[in-house]
């Protein structure tokens, strides 16, 4: 059996150690025969060329992604291939922790204090508290549930909405009404044709002045132009780990706005995740 694997994070070396009888070829090195590959593990946060490689592997039987979100890959997976995502590689925990970090960092104005530190400037600012805040979780799967468990001890009031309505979880059709009663809106739902543009102008306009929009899911779920308008006039704040174009272009106004905190899609990029990617014995989280 031939495995096409990334060298990064020790994935290829670890599989070679555990399966000495297998043929291991490294994605970054090239020079391999594409007609011999049975198992392909996509490089983490791989670019378009790594996804395009799927179509060049006629004998492929198993495709492994190291990411939990696979919206950018699904359409490229042949019917006969078993596709597995990165569930179990600590992406959910890392993303949930980052969501809480972004919320607290925004409320406590850490970007302003970091700027003052770089300027050797000691300056007092009044900051906000998470205690008593009304938090709307848009998405209540594994990541949404982990975010809830991590912020509940701060004394927040939590409302939930998801694609599957159930006891305690409202349908997405009620988002505008729910947004009107939210201090913080957290986007933690998978990107699908149904959720693209879900956080639209109507939802954003319904949020109270001063509300914080946190996105740790996918940029395309939020109407970027509508959000930018609310950010530019100072009505809303945002903390974004994902954007509608990545990397975010240098000329986008979000970079310079004092009410925006940006991280470069690092929710799942953690040390435990790197270790798990190298040590995982077999494919995880079948998508189909």
User: In this predicted structure, what is the pLDDT of residue 72?
Assistant: 85
Catalytic residue (one of 26, 91, 218, 237): 218
Distance separating alpha carbons of residues 219 and 31, to the nearest angstrom: 35
Specify the pTM: 0.86
- Characterize 210-246 residue by residue with b for buried, 16 or more Cβ atoms within 10 angstroms of its Cβ, and e for exposed: ebbbbbbbbbbbbbbebbbebbeeebbbbbbbbbbee
User: In this predicted structure, what is the pLDDT of residue 281?
Assistant: 44
Catalytic residue (one of 28, 157, 166, 246): 246
Catalytic residue (one of 140, 265, 269, 280): 265
Please give the chain's pLDDT, 288 residues, in tens: 999 999 987 889 989 999 999 999 998 888 889 999 999 999 887 778 999 999 999 999 999 998 878 888 999 999 999 999 887 777 899 999 999 999 999 999 999 999 999 999 999 999 999 999 999 999 999 999 999 999 999 999 999 999 999 999 999 999 999 999 999 999 999 999 999 999 999 999 999 999 999 999 999 999 999 999 999 999 999 999 999 999 999 999 999 999 999 999 998 766 665 555 555 544 455 555
28 is catalytic: no
218 is catalytic: yes
29 is catalytic: no
User: In this predicted structure, what is the pLDDT of residue 38?
Assistant: 96
Regarding beta strands 170-171 and 237-240, do their DSSP bridges make them parallel or antiparallel, or are they unpaired? unpaired
């Amino acid at each position: 059996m031939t495995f096409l694997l990334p060298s990064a994070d020790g994935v290829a070396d670890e599989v070679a150690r555990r399966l000495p009888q297998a043929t291991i070829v490294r994605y970054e090195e090239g020079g391999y025969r594409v007609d011999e590959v049975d198992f392909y593990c996509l490089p983490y946060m791989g670019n378009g060329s790594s996804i395009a490689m799927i179509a060049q592997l006629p004998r492929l039987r198993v495709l492994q992604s190291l990411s939990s979100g696979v919206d950018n890959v699904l359409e490229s997976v042949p019917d006969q291939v078993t596709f597995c995502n990165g569930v179990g590689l600590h992406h959910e925990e890392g993303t949930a922790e980052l969501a809480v970090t972004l919320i607290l960092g925004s409320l406590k104005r850490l970007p302003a204090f970091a700027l003052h530190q770089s300027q050797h400037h000691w300056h007092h600012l009044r900051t906000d508290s998470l205690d008593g805040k009304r938090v709307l979780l848009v998405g209540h799967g594994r990541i949404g549930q982990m975010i809830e468990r991590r912020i509940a001890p701060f004394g927040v009031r939590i409302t939930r909405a998801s694609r599957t309505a159930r006891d305690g979880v409202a349908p997405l059709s009620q988002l505008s009404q729910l947004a009107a009663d939210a201090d913080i809106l957290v986007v933690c739902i998978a990107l699908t044709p149904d959720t693209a543009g879900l956080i639209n102008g109507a939802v954003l306009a319904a949020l109270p002045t001063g509300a914080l929009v946190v996105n740790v899911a996918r940029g395309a779920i939020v109407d970027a132009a509508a959000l930018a308008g609310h950010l530019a006039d100072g009505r809303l704040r945002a903390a974004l780990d994902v954007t509608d174009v990545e990397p975010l272009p240098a000329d986008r106004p979000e970079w310079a706005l004092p009410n925006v905190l940006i991280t470069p899609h690092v929710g799942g990029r953690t040390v435990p995740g790197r270790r798990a990617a190298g040590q995982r014995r077999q494919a995880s989280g079948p998508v189909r």
